[in-house]
Amino acid sequence: MIHSKKIIRTVETQTLLRVEDLALEFRTRSGTVQALDQVSFSLAMGETVGLVGESGSGKSVLALAILGILDRAAEVTKGAIALQGIDLLKIPRAELRQKRGKEMAMIFQNPRVALNPIRQVGKQLEDVLAVHQRGPKQGRRDRALALLSQVRIPDPERRYHAYPYELSGGMCQRVMIALALAANPKVLIADEPTTGLDVTTQAAVMGLIRDLGQQGEMGTILITHDLDLAAQYCDRLLVMHAGHIVEAAPTAQILRQPCHPYTTKLIAATPDPHKTLGELLPIAGHLPDLRGDLPPCRFRSRCDRPLPECDRPPLIRQTITPGHTVACHHPLTPEVQP
């Protein structure tokens, strides 16, 4: 069983980010890919929201859409992305660039690829500070050293002069966190931040992200396929499948009582110390082809309990309890558990 840790908030809840009815397409030679559809959620000050789902479900695309760094082939066809009430889809690109890094920041999956291999990490931090903060060059150097210390890198003076190839994977990830936090953003997006790290380093990196987020009252979106990791560090979970958010609820509740068939299968397929290898159940089928006509429920072909109305639009969203919603005609409430 996956267990979640209850995180106590000491700040008044305030919405930082709100995504409403977002739809996004990619134009390709083989057709239009409907990557996101009817995506809605919010992020509050000091909160960590987990985006979970298998590879290809749309988690990273959603993050890139929020930051406005999508490929040119991508087009947002509907919806809004509001940062403290300002729709990022309607402001000039120059203004969006200023918000990116200063008010929103991202920790990318592979720090060795994201970092400049031929520039010292301290100089890379100064580059970010030069764009978003005014002041003398010496002040930027002092701030860079303070950031390296803040993310618990030992001997920051020496590491300031190091190149990425001279650092371990965990150290590179800490440098990425320092880069993301350089301008004190309000929203931090962490895309698979523990990929390739050993268990001890994973715990250190995630603990660091959690602590810095709570101290700065920053909202954090954690993108991961690791439900156990999300259970430990997230206040709420958003379960994604084929570009839809199929279920959203407080972490403990969604793990204790999943209501969407996909969430149930995702939990059953997650490794757990209390499960034997034979008890792990793979999710049958595969993600649908997102080109062309799609049914309202994109999980329809993989579901064990399809109904005739599943083929009829619109996609139905039901509220199970306050804060717990599910996109399903026939959710797995206690009365209809299999």
Per-residue pLDDT of 158-183, as tens digits, reads 999 999 999 998 899 999 999 998 88
Q: By percentage, how much of the chain surpasses pLDDT 90? A: 62
How confident is the prediction for the chain on average, in pLDDT? 89
Give residue 228's identity as a one-letter amino acid code: D
Once rounded to an integer, what is the mean pLDDT over residues 136-158?
90
Once rounded to an integer, what is the mean pLDDT over residues 64-93?
95
Which residue, among 250, 251, 265, 235, has the nearest Cα to 328 in the 3D structure?
265
DSSP 8-state code for residue 291: B
- Into how many domains does the chain fold? 2
Strand 236-241 versus strand 48-52 pairing type: parallel
Q: What is the pTM of this model?
A: 0.90
Is residue 147 one of the residues assigned to a domain? yes
Domain identity same for 205 and 85? yes
Once rounded to an integer, what is the mean pLDDT over residues 241-246?
96
pLDDT at residue 6, rounded to an integer: 46
Contact between 243 and 58 under an 8 Å Cβ cutoff? The reply is yes
Domain ends where: 129, 159, 182? 182
Q: How confident is the model at residue 109 (pLDDT cuts 50, 70, 90)?
A: confident
pLDDT at residue 334, rounded to an integer: 65
Q: Does 9 have pLDDT greater than 50? A: no
Domain ends where: 140, 158, 182? 182
Per-residue pLDDT of 311-328, as tens digits, reads 888 888 999 999 999 999
Q: Which two tokens stand for residue 325?
A: 């919603």
Domain identity same for 118 and 264? no
Q: Does 335 have pLDDT greater than 70? A: no
Domain identity same for 97 and 121? no
Domain identity same for 80 and 227? yes
pLDDT at residue 172, rounded to an integer: 92
Which residue, among 149, 97, 104, 143, has the nearest Cα to 124 in the 3D structure?
143
Domain identity same for 254 and 173? no
Once rounded to an integer, what is the mean pLDDT over residues 262-268?
93
Per-residue pLDDT of 190-215, as tens digits, reads 999 888 778 888 888 888 888 888 77
Domain identity same for 176 and 254? no
Is residue 145 one of the residues assigned to a domain? yes
pLDDT at residue 10, rounded to an integer: 36
Domain ends where: 122, 150, 182? 182
Residue 134 domain boundaries: 110-182
